[in-house]
């Protein structure tokens, strides 16, 4: 179903651009952003990123050596600043030991090996690890996040774990760019239509194939999917 979903969302979100969606080109900034956005909004994470940038701290070396007590207030807008500061320091140290993003991209290190190394760092869970692997290192993986699990459950009526969703997607799609685009479109679809509360089923192009919508008597009203 994931190839089908990629095609349907691609038609609905024609012109969707992953780089524009992220709004950040630098891989290391994306890595730090993946930690900062944990349990908060991207708006708050972006404020913390800007604080890091303004203080000259958006490099692995700077974040390895900055004292913990100095880093904490800088990233306060993202919340959970004490634990996130520690996780950022661990990630920066790991990246420095690996000789940086370019070295990792150029090395023949299996994706699963990198994933396990990231998961071994306290403060980095599956969603953060997969986000880093996909958007910083261009690896063929995807986050089975809440948006993706909710969409799957509403389409099929079946509940699946993070690992099950991720494995199912990777069994159908393997191109890193396709995986990044699918994830981005699912997130935007979830924000605009398949919302946790008050979903907009009537204007969703997936309605004819959505068990949740049919069970709730939704009728497709047509129109532009993005309106």
- Distance from C-alpha of 129 to C-alpha of 133, rounded to nearest angstrom: 6
- Tokens for 124, please give them: 């980095």
- Reported as a single tens digit per residue, the pLDDT across 154-211 is 999 999 999 999 999 999 999 999 999 999 999 999 999 999 999 999 999 999 999 9
Contact 39, 206 (CB under 8 A): no
- Tokens for 49, please give them: 């990123």
- Sign of dihedral through CA atoms 2, 118, 86, 163? positive
Q: Is residue 3 part of a domain?
A: yes
- Reported as a single tens digit per residue, the pLDDT across 53-106 is 999 999 999 999 999 999 999 999 999 999 999 999 999 999 999 999 999 998
Contact 9, 185 (CB under 8 A): yes
Q: Is residue 130 part of a domain?
A: yes
- Reported as a single tens digit per residue, the pLDDT across 19-28 is 999 999 999 9
Q: How many structural domains compose the chain?
A: 2
pTM of the model: 0.93
Which residue intervals of 13-145 are DSSP H helices? 18-22, 27-36, 42-54, 60-65, 68-74, 81-97, 101-106, 111-119, 126-135
Q: Are residues 2 and 35 in the same domain?
A: no
Q: Is residue 211 part of a domain?
A: yes
Q: Which of 107, 137, 167 is the last residue of a domain?
A: 137
Q: Are residues 30 and 105 in the same domain?
A: yes
Range of the domain at 210: 1-15+144-216
């Amino acid at each position: 179903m994931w190839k089908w979903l990629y095609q349907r969302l691609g038609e609905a979100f024609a012109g969707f651009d992953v780089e524009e969606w992220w709004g950040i080109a630098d891989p290391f900034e994306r890595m730090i952003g993946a930690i900062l956005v944990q349990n908060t909004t991207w708006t708050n994470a972006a404020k913390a990123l800007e604080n890091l940038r303004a203080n000259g701290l958006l490099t692995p070396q700077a974040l390895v050596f900055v004292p913990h007590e100095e880093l904490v207030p800088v990233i306060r807008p993202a919340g959970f600043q004490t634990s996130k500061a520690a996780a950022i320091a661990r990630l920066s140290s790991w990246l420095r030991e690996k000789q940086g993003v370019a070295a990792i991209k150029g090395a023949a290190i299996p994706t699963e090996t990198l994933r396990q190394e990231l998961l071994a760092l306290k403060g980095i869970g599956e969603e953060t690890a997969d986000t880093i692997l996909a958007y910083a290192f261009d690896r063929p993986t995807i986050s089975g996040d809440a948006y993706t699990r909710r969409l799957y459950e509403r389409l099929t009526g079946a509940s699946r774990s993070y690992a099950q969703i991720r494995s199912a997607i990777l069994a159908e799609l393997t191109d890193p760019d396709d995986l990044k685009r699918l994830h981005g479109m699912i997130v935007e679809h979830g924000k605009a239509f398949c919302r946790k509360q008050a979903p907009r089923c009537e204007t969703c192009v997936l309605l004819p194939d959505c068990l949740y919508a049919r069970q709730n008597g939704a009728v497709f009203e047509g129109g532009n999917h993005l309106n």
